[in-house]
Amino acid sequence: MSSSGVLQAGGNITVDGTALWADILETAQIGGTPKGGVRRLTLTEEDRQVRAWFTAACTSLGCTVTHDSMGNQFARRPGRDAGLPPITMGSHLDTQPTGGKFDGIVGVLGGLAVLRALHASGHETRHPIELINWTNEEGSRFAPAMLSSGVFAGVFTEQEALDKTDRDGIRFGDALAAIGYRGEPPCGQHPVAAYFELHIEQGPILEAEEKTIGVVTGVQGMRWYEVTLTGRDSHAGTTPMPMRADALLAAARIIEAVSAVALAHGPDAVGTVGLLENRPNSRNVVPGEVFFTIDLRHPNDAVVVAMETDLRGRIEQIVTDAGIALAMERVWDSPAVHFDPTCIASVRAATESFGYPARDIVSGAGHDAAYMARVAPTTMIFVPCAGGLSHNEAESAEPGDVAAGANVLLRAVLDADARLNP
């Protein structure tokens, strides 16, 4: 596809990069941390506050804002043909416990910049244009990640999602009701013509290659596990080493095995233990129970399966040798995703129309777009982040790169508006 379709469809419109950057700095104050990051966990008071900010910002541009039964927010700008399904943009406003200013929210605020540009120019699209804030993308409070987009796409039932609990035993459904975002429209019964998601790369490739735009062709496969090891609490001073059932020692060996498995399955494989709870967590007690998580990822689903098989074998040997009881559950399985070629072409044409240096890229992280690809033509746009650092309070991006990503988002959406449902 040439860039001519983009240029004909409102190609002279661009986003206000200064206003976009100001939005990033303003929203970073909602849940802002002393180190300059953001702690805005799903369905907390901070989440409620940023949702209210989102609603006010979108309604000021003439949009109608609604939310569904999972709390997903939809800001709708009318099109000429109200009977057409909307072309959508989106991402998320929740963060990690020690998150940054850019993960997720760049996609929401970049979409807001698109709405602002359309509003300022008076450009009328054929389709309605919608901006979506997805609930609980991160999965840091309620696992798994991408929970509400997963319900939207039929990956999870709404009831199982509402019954998820955090580490304090609070139900997702109760927390959603507590902040006032349990909507009437059933999640998933919302038409979508296409979906575009802008995001920081969360990796080092674009910056290293001095590329402004990543044209995202898909998302790698990933699996999450929860593991509980049960040994025996005993006195640290009186229990001889050969007579211990040390759950933490076994966990340490499994953590090492996770790394070994990833290294054994090629340069694209990664494995992580990111959460660990040691019990009773006393300095003079041999640990009797350990809970931890495992995250395995690879662009090829067959390799993910091989990694799991390899790891399970190593874990079984470790716990057998240590005399430790094992409970291991796979809590999330997100297969590799291949994005829609026509949406990718719209992003590529938009990028070329601006002359931004770009490359094709596969996402190493999960995103709501991975589930949206099951129900609508979908793709993503990446912009660089400093050092590839993300899920960190020091997460950073350049204003010019963020504005460039929003400009590509704008023209890709306009191209899709001109092309879809003639």
Does the annotation place 190 within a ligand binding site?
no
CB atoms within 10 A of CB 320: 10
Neighbour-count burial for 175-202, b at 16+ CB within 10 Å, e otherwise: bbeebebbbeeebbebebbbbbbbbbbb
Does the annotation place 391 within a ligand binding site?
yes
**CA-only gyration radius of the chain, Å:** 23
CA–CA distance, 132 with 109 (Å, rounded to integer) = 10
Largest CA distance in the chain: 80
Strand locations in 106-168 (E): 129-134
CA–CA distance, 253 with 258 (Å, rounded to integer) = 9
CA–CA distance, 271 with 260 (Å, rounded to integer) = 9
Q: ∠ CA 256-329-148 to the nearest 5 degrees?
A: 110
CA–CA distance, 176 with 339 (Å, rounded to integer) = 31
Q: Looking up tokens 């990718």, which residue turns up?
A: 344
Give SS3 for 336: coil
CA–CA distance, 377 with 419 (Å, rounded to integer) = 13
The token duo for 67 is: 């939310």
CA–CA distance, 404 with 417 (Å, rounded to integer) = 20
> Which of 234, 227, 244, 239 has the alpha carbon at shortest distance from 282?
234
Does the annotation place 127 within a ligand binding site?
no
Alpha-helical regions (H) of 265-398: 301-322, 341-354, 368-372
Q: Tell the burial category of 268 from Cβ atoms under 10 Å away from its Cβ (0-12, 13-18, 19+).
A: middle
Q: ∠ CA 298-328-305 to the nearest 5 degrees?
A: 25
> Which of 97, 315, 96 has the alpha carbon at shortest distance from 227?
315
Does the annotation place 199 within a ligand binding site?
yes
Binding-site annotation: residue ranges for Zn(2+): 92, 103, 138, 199, 391
Q: Which positions make up the binding site?
A: 92, 103, 138, 199, 391
